[in-house]
Amino acid sequence: MLDEKTKKNYERWLASPRLSEEEKQALRSMKEEEISDSFFRDMEFGTGGMRGKLGLGTNRMNSYTVGRVTIAFGLYLLHRYPSAKKQGVVISHDNRYHSRDFALEAAHILNEEGIPAFLFDALRPTPELSYAVRKKGACGGIMITASHNPKEYNGYKIYDDTGCQLLPDDVNEMLRFLNQLPDELEAKAPKDPSPAATAILPPSIDDEYVKEVENCQLNPSLPKQGFKIIYSPQHGASYENAMRVFRDCGYEVIPVLSQCVHDPAFGATLSPNPETAESFIESIRLAQKEGADLCVMTDPDGDRCGVAYRSSKGTYERFTGNQSAALLIDYLFSERKEKGLLSSNGVMYDTIVTSDLGRKIAHAYGIKTESFLTGFKYIGNRIDYYEKLGHGPKFEFGYEESYGCLIRPFVRDKDGIQAILLYSEMALWYHLKGIPLDIAYENLEKKYGYHATKTISVMFEGQEGLREMTSLMDRLHAHPLKEVAGKKIARLEDYQTSLSLDCQSGEKTPITLEKSNVIRMIFSDSSWIAIRPSGTEPKCKFYVEVYQKDNLGIEQRVDAIFASLKEQLGL
């Protein structure tokens, strides 16, 4: 049974003269469940932008919902930047269905508002969009992408003049303009008396970005003969730049050709998400055939990177984002220290759901760390803050557990191409020493302790799913768990109330980060659990890290914690 709001939205679309007869016929053919999910709410623009399934409806990615958000973004830019009509906006997109259409639509709307648009001639990765915003001196950027989501999705991310995604306060300001607009079928861009134009960005942007990536190398002269790398862009936007970087730097790279086609159907992969084992099936198959040493992968919009390697047993194994980053941190900092390049006032940035292992390694090298809420925009903003301040700690590295990292900050978002280049260099460095990467990682664990991490996502699709997820988080905030898998919670961090509670003494201390719908539970041995709804997808994410001085039963303890959570929360 459709509720009143859903029915009203559906009927409004059916009656609208803006829709073609073909679109209306598609609406009439919808089943009730599809109508409910497509129309029960307006597509949400959150702190991570807008992301959802393609299709007709208020809760779908389509030209009408994209157009309304673009009108609001243009109004926001005109309000915030006095010279927005001179600076303009850079627009890029990935390989997905309608990505180019949405990019062109966004450019047209901005032009109507008097704002120039700078568009790439074809798809380009997210990190290059961030770079181009800064290079062009633009006042903002738009990236049309659904990152690593399945083919049914698309999305819309917005950037400020620093090449960084908007922070929540800025998003809220943009939403003020959005909420003043009529609905998505009635909203129209205010026409400037002197409309602007769209220009295609020159190839020099690619040249300069690629050169900056190549300058990230620490040991460019390492001999590369006999060291083979398998690379997949997962049908996405990084292929051309990544292969150019590898060729320039002298690596023997064998691409997974079936996954190098810019296919919106992702026809040659079971998953475009480097976090899943399915995404590596073809890469590992090719690695076995070629006797390769390493597999690297970027996700469709090129901001994330996955890694698999040939182990000491001759098998191919995958690293989690926490594991690969820990190895990379140790490599970067040790080599920079050896070369006199490591700052005496350096800082590394991560997030509150990232493993403690990376922080322990950083501290061992005398590098400070700062942790933020999930979202690379917080890291990008912090880099910009210290840059403008003119003094303060020097950026050494930034990363998230979900395969996103930044080696050098000429980009203000995570950069999968920087990552695959430096992971390749690190793996080659160990290869030349005769140390397989599983042994290198084991040596880190022996030094800093064993950290087993796992992330599980629970989907909450549709109107009923949203209610269930909201209810789950409300219960956790109101009645936090006191014990999980037979062990008591020692400290509770509630980022919605901005309070950290010592569960034994009852003492409360403030949390200085922005408010967010996140709960963290820490055990007395520093193992922890974190729970948060995704900012871009209808799912709730559960993170667990278990810390021990040895690895005896550590994976079983992780599984026991998840089993206990599932039982207590009724999942």
Q: What does pLDDT average to over the chain? A: 96
Lowest mean pLDDT among 2-6, 121-125, 259-263, 282-286: 2-6
- Amino acid 370: pLDDT: 98
Confidence of residue 463 (pLDDT cuts 50, 70, 90): confident
The confidence band for 493, taking pLDDT boundaries of 50, 70 and 90, is: very high
Alpha helices in 30-179 (DSSP H): 32-39, 63-80, 84-87, 99-112, 126-136, 168-179
**How far is residue 496's CA from residue 476's CA, in Å, rounded to a whole number?**
11
In the chain, domain spans: 1-40, 47-202, 226-448, 450-569
- Which among 192, 198, 94 is positioned nearest to 149, based on CA atoms? 94
Task: Kindly indicate the confidence band of residue 273, based on its pLDDT and cuts at 50, 70 and 90.
Answer: very high
The fold adopted by the segment(s) 47-202 is: Alpha-D-Glucose-1,6-Bisphosphate; Chain A, domain 3 (3.40.120)
Q: Which amino acid is at 339?
A: K
- pLDDT at site 417: 98
pLDDT at residue 48, as a whole number: 81
* Residue-wise pLDDT tens digits, 399-418: 999 999 999 999 999 999 99
Average pLDDT over residues 298-327: 98
DSSP secondary structure letter of residue 367 = -
Say how many CA atoms lie within 13 Å of 45 toward its Cβ. 25
What's the confidence (pLDDT) of residue 537?
73
Pick from 163, 144, 151: which is nearest to 104 by CA? 144
For the chain, what's the residue count? 571
* Residue 6: both structure tokens together: 């859903």
pLDDT digits (tens, 9 = 90+) for 25-48: 999 999 999 999 999 999 988 878
> Can you read off the two tokens belonging to residue 537?
């997808």
Q: What CATH class is the domain 450-569?
A: alpha beta
17: number of Cβ within 10 Å: 6
Distances (CA, A) of 242 to 93, 125, 128, 297, 424: 17, 10, 12, 10, 12
Residues recognised as catalytic: 147
Which CATH number does the domain 226-448 belong to among 3.30.565.10, 3.40.50.720, 3.30.2130.10, 3.40.120.10?
Answer: 3.40.120.10
Return the structure tokens found at 492.
Answer: 């509770």
- Residue 461's pLDDT band (cuts 50, 70, 90): confident
Strand boundaries in 407-476, DSSP class E: 450-459
Do 47-202 and 226-448 agree at the fold level? yes
What whole-number distance in Å separates Cα of residue 296 and Cα of residue 307? 5
